[in-house]
Homo-oligomer: A and B are copies of this chain.
């Protein structure tokens, strides 16, 4: 058998995916597939974004006007849908970030992880 299956980091925290997508796009426009890779990479493999979560999220955000999409060529020389933050998306990101801070701080208080 394999060396030890590794518990495998479970799913995402509900509600944080949208925020993280906005954050990644705030740095630089990206296509979906790349966003997922970035998140996994930045988080050192803790966050694994399933495609079945990713694409619905992108469509959700675009429909709400936080994102704009455009077909372009990716770095690998293929067509890809490049997403970028709209002005409304930037505002939304600020709001969600602030809310995350409040929430995680509150949970920290409960869990005795203050500081």
Contacts and interface: CB of A to CB of B under 8 A. Distances in A.
Report whether over half of chain A's contact residues are helix, strand or loop; otherwise say mixed. Answer: helix
A37 interface: no
Interface residues of A, number: 32
Interface stretch (A52-60, A75-83, A98-106): A98-106
A108 B104 CA distance: 10
B99 A113 contact: no
Interface of A: 9-10, 12-16, 19-20, 23-24, 39, 42-44, 46-47, 97, 99-107, 109-113
Given A13-B13, A16-B107, 16 more contacts: A9-B102, A10-B99, A13-B104, A13-B107, A14-B14, A20-B110, A23-B112, A39-B110, A42-B109, A43-B106, A43-B110, A46-B102, A46-B106, A47-B103, A47-B106, A101-B113
